[in-house]
Amino acid sequence: MVVVLIILALAIFVLPNIWAKWVLKRHTRGRDDYPGTGAELADHLLRRLGIDGASVERTEYGDHYDPETRCVRLSSDNYDGRSLTAVTVAAHEVGHAIQHYQGYAPLIARSRMVGVAQKAEKLGAVLMMAAPFLFLLTRLPGGLAIVIAMAVISFGTAAVVHLVTLPVEFDASFNRALPLLKEYVPPSDMAGARHVLTACAFTYVAASLASVMNLGRWLVILRR
């Protein structure tokens, strides 16, 4: 039973990330027939769509859109790359900029919750490590259960954020980026673009499942 659970956990947490990296790498070959790099496409789309105040920057911390600075940030490979992966990732991050510009509610909710969730998750981890010591110090009836409950709430906050992230990512990929890419990418490359967007989405699905399973694990501990 334990072996089955370990295999299941590996399948949920590891395989989606391995597959995503494989798909992204598969489409990183430079394309001379593409009119521009990922950064150039992102900048063009932002100007074409009239998203004033938004910008494009290079980053060393992974591709993302920052709602606070209204900045599309791309890794060096995707910023300078003239490949299917580069332009697809760039279009996806522009999709988030479009969401922000149009006031897409799930994105706004996620942005507000991310800071709280990060602090809550750290607090939960600290509480779980400190729980036996806190119980020994307080010696109050039910003290350990209270601490574990607080940790579960902390992990639960992170799980909610991950779940809210899913519709945000799928919308940015398939409702925003994909229609735009059809205007810039040859029809023969659209299947590859869908693969890239799907691969990226699966990494968020895996993260969400991991967060929910972690919450479930501590709920079981609490019931004991």
Catalytic residues: 93
| 197 vs 169: CA distance, rounded Å | 9
Q: How far is CA 46 from the centre of its chain?
A: 21
Looking up tokens 């947490």 gives 13
Alpha carbons 115 and 8: distance in angstroms, whole number: 31
Alpha helix positions (H), the chain: 2-13, 15-26, 38-48, 76-80, 84-102, 105-138, 143-170, 178-181, 190-223
